Amino acid sequence: MDLNDRDGEWWDELAELNPDAVILDGFDSCIIGYASRQNMQAVLVYDEDKMIDVMAEQLGGDTEGAIDYLSYNTWGLWAGEGTPMILRRYDDNEVYEETS
């Protein structure tokens, strides 16, 4: 599946499942799939870490600036039922460090 050109069976399937799915411009490389729940339309799922990397590169390597920008301008977005999900990966080591 080539996410950069948005052509192909995968994109066609998503469009059929949810023609109103919101696509975040500039973050195609961060898409890890789509998800759906019972009685809800499919939405795109983006990898939070990848989004930070993409934005940090645009900001000249400023990771904190990327997190601030995404927190304010992207992750809090509500664009209706087609609003994408942002996946934050579970890290067992991070949980352990926070509770130690």
What's the pLDDT at 94?
A: 67
Residues 13-72 have pLDDT tens digits of 999 999 999 999 999 999 999 999 898 999 999 999 999 999 999 999 999 999 999 999
pTM for the model: 0.83
Locate 54 and state its tokens: 């993409």
The more confident residue out of 91 and 72 is: 72
CA distance 21 to 15: 7
- Minimal CA–CA distance to 52: which of 81, 27, 77? 27
Q: Which amino acid is at 1?
A: M
User: 8: left (phi > 0), else alpha (psi -120 to 50), else beta?
Assistant: left
CB–CB of 71/88 below 8 Å? no
